[in-house]
Structure 1
Amino acid sequence: MISAIEPGMTVLDIVSTYSATQEVFKRWDDRAGECICCNALFESLDAVAEKYNLDLAALVQELRNAARNSRAST
Structure 2
Amino acid sequence: MIEKEDKILDIVSDYPQTEEIFKPYDEIVGKCVMCNHLFETVEEFSEMYDLNMEELLKNLNRNK
Aligned to 1:16: 13
Identity of matched residues, %: 39
More helix by share: 1
TM score, norm. by length of structure 2: 0.93
User: Aligned pairs, how many?
Assistant: 64
TM score, norm. by length of structure 1: 0.81
Deviations 1:12-38 (A, max 9, x none): 010000010000000122112111111
2-side partners of 1:58 and 1:31: how far apart?
A: 14
Larger gyration radius, structure 1 or structure 2: 1
5+ residue gaps, structure 1, are: 68-74
Counterpart AA for 2:33: I
5+ residue gaps, structure 2, are: none
Matching of residue 65 in structure 1 with residue 62 in structure 2: yes
